[in-house]
Structures are given as C-alpha cells and as structure tokens.
Structure 1
Amino acid sequence: MINDKLKGGIYVALGASSYGMLTTFVKMAYSEGFNTAEVTLSQYVLGAFGLLLLNQFGRKKHSPLVKSTTYTAIKLVLAGTSLGLTSVFLYLAMQYVSVSVGIVLLMQSVWMGVIVEMIIHKKLPGARKLLAVIIILGGTVLATALGQQSIRVSWAGIGWGLSAALAYTATMYSSNSVGLQFPPLKRSLLMISGGLIMIIVIFHAHINLDFSFRIFLRWGILLSLFGTILPPILLTRGMPLIDMGLGAIIVSLEIPVSVLMAFFLINERVSGLQWTGVFMILLAVVLMNIGKREPVPK
C-alpha cells in the first residue's frame, strides 16, 4: 500500500508538472512569432490524434470496455468545450502577463470552485475554506504585483486570466461528474475533441494563407504532449492510488513548476513579494485539503 501510494503521488506530480511546463512553451512560441490560433490549434489537433491512437492500442490490449452511449459521449464533447476555452483564454492572457501571473490567475479556479460547490449544494463553505479563499485572494494581490507601483499591471491580461480560471472551473466540475463510466483515455479523447471543436469555431477565420503550419512541428508536438496527452494519462493513473485531498495538494505543484520553468528557460524574474503570494496560494490549497480522509481503492 505504501508503494502504491508513493507511485500514485509520483504520477500525479508528473502530471501536474507537465501542465506547469505548458505556459512557458507558449511564451517561447510567441517569441518566435506564432499566434494564439496557431498555438491552440496545433496543440489540440495533435493531442486529439495522439489520444485517438492510444485509444486504438488500448482497445486491443485491455478487456472489453464499458458500453458507451451516444448521449453521454455528446455530453463529454460538450463538456470539453470549456477545456478549449480555458486554453484560448489562458494563452491570450500570456500575450499580456508573465507566466507566473498567468498561472496564478488560472489558480483562481480554487475559490471559484468553492462558490460553485456552495451554489450546487446550497450550503455555505466551512470556516477553513473561507480562510483559504481569503489567503488565495491576498496571495493573488501579491503574486500579480497589484500592489507594486514599479510593475505595470495589464488589466487585459488579468481579464483573460480570470476568464481562463472560470472556464477551468467548469472543466473541473464536468470532468468529475460526466461520463465517469467511460475509460479514462476515451473520456480524455472526447473532451479534447470538444475543446478542438470550440477552438476551430473561434479561430476558423485564421486558418488561411497566413496560418503557419510550421507550428505543428516546431511547438505542436511539445504542447500536445505536455498539455493534452501526458497529464490525463498520469493523473488518471495516479489519483486512484491516493486520496483526493493529497491529490489536490500535489496538483498545486503546477504553480512553482511554471514559475521555475519560466525563470530557467526565458529568464522571467519574480520578485520576493510575488514569491510570497505564490506560497500563500499553495498554503491555501494545503489548508483546504489537509485532513481529508477518503478511502483509497485496494
């Protein structure tokens, strides 16, 4: 059991770290002249293709899959549209803000999720969750440099980042409630397909003579691997081996990984106050989830 729990934690940590690398790769693609349409389309087209191949191989290797219904499959595709919106909004924010600020804005989905939970269950959150929300908001003010006059704040970037957090909240809710009887790889494929459809709807006008298909080989493989293929595989393998509280804490590794990747690869500087804000948000995630005891499947 100890070995399984350790293995699950490693899988979840690697999945979160994969997501954490994504925003830095997007920044690097932007620096080479690629735009949001090219970045998102290459990621989702190659990601959907990769997951399709994995589903085909998995179907041959594993036991017969649970019979799916067209209605549930359509619901998963529709749920995936919010995943596509998350990427679009986050990558638009990356045009205006740093990687560290972008990932902090995306993590506002933590307190947005608390509000969604309160609305659905019609019950006020406990004192510990309320305290965590306050810590997150305070940490966000520091991490986004809102209180530092020497740093220029992009309100457009903050707006797109908060929109990404809202879309991500919808994605997290739907991924935890829709089509749970489907195999993880099939669920991932259907949701990524929904995201791809949404991205094509948004950026169809950009697929013209000016569209640089070089993005598929230059950055598309990396973006799809770390953004749409590896994370669902690693997280769906790791999460069943550990309890949800510990899983949520480990997933928050995405924040420091993003900041460190940006520091080492694109020399993005983060002030001491911003680091304080980042650690406050991590503390809030731990506060919300520590002490949760959910049975781990044996």
Structure 2
Amino acid sequence: MSKMYYYPLFVIFGACSYGVVSTIIKLSMLDGFSASEAVTSQFVMGFMLAVCIFAVQRKKLNSKGIKNIIPIGILTGMTNISYGLCLNYMPASLAVVLLFQFTWIGMLISCIAKRQFPGRAEYFSIFLLFVGTIPAAGLMDVDITRVPLQGLLFAIFIF
C-alpha cells in the first residue's frame, strides 16, 4: 500500500481513538469520577502499554530518543488534559468536532510557514472536514450559545 494512503488511515484511527476517549471520560464522570481522574488513568494505562511494547522490542532508548519523546508526551498530555476539562462543560460530540479542527489549523500554519497556498487535495480534505464532521457529530441540533465559555476556552487549548 502506498504511503499516501496511510495518512488518512491514521486520521481515521485518531478520530476513532478520541471518540472512545470522550465516551470513557463521560461514563467515568457519570460514575462519580472527575475528568482529571479519568485522564490520569488513561495516562497510566498508556504508559504501561508503552513500556510493554518497548520491552517486547528490546530496543535501547538513547538521549536522542528521549529528546523526541518528552516534547511529544508533553504536548499529548496537554491535549488530553484540555480535552478532559472541555468534556466537563460540553457535549462529547461538540468536543470531538472542536478537537479535530487541528486539521485545518495545522494546514493554515503550514501554508503560512511555507508561504504557499494549499493544493487541490488539501482544499478537498478541508471541505470534507467541515461538511462531514458537523452532521456526523449531531451538531445540527446543538445550540452553541448554551455552551459554557469555559468549555470553549479549554477547547481552544486543545490545539
């Protein structure tokens, strides 16, 4: 399979993963746990899974690997914490849609950095993002004016 087809699959996998995360956090909150406790348990489980994978591969971690892993872990952690806090204030469907706005924001940043306009495929993907996520998340019936400002502020920090 061409590498070109891997990237959309990674996006789909990421979307599915964060959809499950919001469900787990919401169900945890219904059972009396806080969003922070739910996110922390996900960090612990993810860390344990990463250690198991690392042990099976039997690779040594050098300083270059550590320098790459730490910033990625910090950014992922900040995203998950913001996402969990965002779920305290808004429906999971809206939080997921706001989370995946990184697609067009990342494209905008890339265009500014490269000083070039996106190509046809990028415009098409942005179009699909906007057309597909709103009805798929059931946002046609959500009154945005009733979403608390705190939820939107935490959603902004997701990016």
When the two structures are superposed, what TM-score results if normalisation uses the length of structure 1? Answer: 0.43
* TM-fit CA distance, 1:116: 2.3
Q: Structure 1: 5+ residue runs without aligned partners?
A: 2-7, 60-64, 167-298
> What count of residue pairs does the alignment treat as equivalent?
152
CA distance in 2: counterparts of 1:140 and 1:104, whole angstroms: 6
- Aligned: 1:50 with 2:44: no
- Aligned: 1:156 with 2:150: yes
Question: What per-residue deviation string (whole Å, max 9, x for no partner) do you get for residues 250-286 of structure 1?
Answer: xxxxxxxxxxxxxxxxxxxxxxxxxxxxxxxxxxxxx
- Aligned residue identity for 2:22: T
* TM-fit CA distance, 1:104: 0.5
- Cα 1:69–1:81 change in 2 (3 A) is same
Contact 1:145 1:153 in 2 (8 A): no
- Aligned: 1:111 with 2:104: yes
- Aligned residue identity for 2:157: S
Which of 57, 63, 70 aligns to 1:77? It is 70
* TM-fit CA distance, 1:145: 4.9
- Aligned residue identity for 1:29: S
- Aligned: 1:25 with 2:24: yes
3-state DSSP class of the match of 2:146?
coil
Structure with bigger gyration radius? 1
3-state DSSP class of the match of 2:150?
helix
Question: What per-residue deviation string (whole Å, max 9, x for no partner) do you get for residues 223-255 of structure 1?
Answer: xxxxxxxxxxxxxxxxxxxxxxxxxxxxxxxxx
CA distance in 1: counterparts of 2:143 and 2:132, whole angstroms: 17
3-state DSSP class of the match of 1:123?
coil
Report which structure shows greater RCO (CA 8 Å, sep ≥6).
1
Q: How does 1:1-298 map to 2 (within 5 A)?
A: 17-59=16-58, 65=59, 69-127=62-120, 129-130=122-123, 132-133=125-126, 136=129, 145=139, 152-164=146-158, 166=159
- Cα 1:136–1:47 change in 2 (3 A) is closer
- Cα 1:149–1:55 change in 2 (3 A) is closer
* TM-fit CA distance, 1:152: 2.0
- Aligned residue identity for 2:72: A
Contact 2:90 2:151 in 1 (8 A): yes
Question: What per-residue deviation string (whole Å, max 9, x for no partner) do you get for residues 146-167 of structure 1?
Answer: 9965972223212212321x1x
Contact 2:83 2:154 in 1 (8 A): yes
- Aligned residue identity for 2:21: L
Q: Note the aligned Cα RMSD (angstroms).
A: 3.5
Q: Structure 2: 5+ residue runs without aligned partners?
A: none
